[in-house]
């Protein structure tokens, strides 16, 4: 598995394609909600590639104030779930963030994914509340 941290058009396209498949097509989230103003040419994405040109998981890195990195739009292709890829992707993003001066991870995760994030050592600090039509909890982890 190769983890690519990049703002390049090709890496962005891979991230968008995964999000389209998982969030829009599979989960039924409206594309105008899924793709927002945070998706721009300056946004950094990490994409896990099972083979060259075959993305299987992604997340969006969103720097916050005071050395906090928010990890957003985390998703894995359906057939690749349950194999630890999402956890490895999140760990790679945490390591990258720590190397770049961040000391804490922040996630606004859907309640349905709360167990996954708890297994990754995130703690709920707020919620649940409605975000884009789904119940969400705010979770953090110190690096």
Is the confidence at residue 47, as pLDDT, over 90? yes
- Per-residue pLDDT of 90-122, as tens digits, reads 999 999 999 999 999 999 999 999 999 999 999
CATH code, domain carrying 30: 3.40.630.30
- Per-residue pLDDT of 5-36, as tens digits, reads 999 999 999 999 999 999 999 999 999 999 99
Percent of the chain with pLDDT over 70: 100
Domain that holds residue 67: 2-142
Residue 99 DSSP symbol:
H
Indicate the pTM of the whole model. Answer: 0.93
Per the CB < 8 A criterion, the answer to whether 48 and 1 are in contact is yes
Number of domains in the chain: 1
Contacts (Cβ under 8 Å, ≥6 apart) of 112? 134
> According to the model, what pLDDT value does residue 131 have?
85
């Amino acid at each position: 598995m190769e983890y690519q941290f990049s703002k390049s058009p090709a890496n962005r396209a891979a991230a968008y394609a995964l999000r389209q498949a998982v969030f829009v097509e599979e989960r039924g989230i409206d594309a105008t909600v899924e793709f927002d103003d945070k998706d721009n040419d300056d946004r950094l994405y990490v994409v896990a590639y099972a083979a060259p040109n075959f993305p299987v998981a992604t997340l969006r890195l969103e720097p916050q104030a005071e050395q906090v990195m928010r990890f957003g739009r985390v998703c894995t292709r359906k057939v690749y779930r349950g194999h630890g890829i999402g956890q490895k992707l999140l760990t790679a993003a945490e390591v990258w963030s720590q190397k770049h001066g961040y000391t804490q991870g922040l996630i606004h995760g859907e309640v349905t994914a709360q167990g996954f994030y708890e297994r990754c050592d995130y703690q709920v600090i707020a919620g649940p509340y409605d975000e884009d039509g789904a119940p969400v909890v705010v979770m953090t982890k110190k690096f």
